[in-house]
Structure 1
Amino acid sequence: MLLVPVAVLAAFVSTGWEPLRAFDRAVADRMHEAAHAAPPLTTLMTWVTHLFQPNVFRVAALILVIWLVRRGERWTAIWVAVTMIAGGVLGGLLKLLFCRARPDFLDPVASTVGYAFPSGHALNSALAVTIALMIFQGWRALWLIPVLTALSRVYLGVHWTSDVIAGLLLGVAVPLLTARIFARTRAAEPVPQR
């Protein structure tokens, strides 16, 4: 299951495992150099990171919930709402649990506040896209959105690579887990007597 690699990453982050730290630092430094060397691409990545911020996906999920309710798909609407809330709460709790500092540069191209692990941008984009793919099968091209979102966060120097990987994995794992729980719960419901 996808929670296993997230747990492994979390263990490496909490213990300060040197190979992961070295990898994260090397990628961050290269991306930082690229960001300074290519201002137009940096501007594009800034637009990407703002366009695909967590609240955009929360509003999209709310619109989806309303649409599902109007179609009479109450159970699916509840699943979407619970999944988005659970994923968001889990991400926030993990940030508080690990208190991981964000990358720090003398001449940053972007800055933000809060803890780094896991990336909330990557998590929320993956949550929303996974939900959309589970409901509207066949829209696989949507996966470009979480990938671009995650890339923008590392490129702009506000997250480590392991932060966005954990966010993406959690964003896929949570909907799969909640869907399984909802399916079991629904199967356990008594059949109405006529």
Structure 2
Amino acid sequence: MIDKKNKIIIEELQRDGRATITEIAKKIGLTSMGAKKRVDKLIKEGLIKVKALVNVEKFEIKLALIAMELESGEVLRDMLNKFENCPRIIKFFVTTGAYNLFALVWAENYYTLESISLESCSLRAQKGVRRFEFYPIADIYYDTFMDIKVIAEKTEKIAPCGVYCGGCERYKRERCQGCPSTIFYKGRL
């Protein structure tokens, strides 16, 4: 249940995900054990998740919003399944408008961002995409922290979407940093 104490817990963790249980307990007027039980329950019930976010401004990461019109529900499900583990996609959004799928994507530079919209690893290149609009994001307001997937151990030769970066012409010409989950990745994350 989201009562006032739970709302305060959520607010505090949104303000600072490293807030201590003792600090939270003082804010809500409970013992540390009482506060810990509440935090644990919120996490266990899937109501909150505490994780590290990346400051895209400090890392000079480029973002883009992609709008797609897909021809069917089957194509939509295939797209979501194929790119579920793609480290370049921050979020997918399914909508009911003319464009039925939006994606928020990231890259280290505009050349790599362009590759995300053009190459075989791109969403545009997938079967069943009727229309595709690509909007690079110029400015972010209020909060520059994003849920960027950082993969420390790059052991794979094939990207999660099934593409081999080593054979890509844009990658060979250094117009793409490669997939962040593969051994070919040349970026800073």
**Shorter-normalised TM range:** under 0.3
Q: Which has the higher helix share?
A: 1
TM value normalised by structure 1: 0.22
Q: Which has the higher strand share?
A: 2
Specify the structure having the higher radius of gyration (Cα).
Answer: 2
- Which structure exhibits the higher relative contact order, with contacts defined as CA atoms closer than 8 Å and separated by 6 or more residues? 1
TM value normalised by structure 2: 0.22
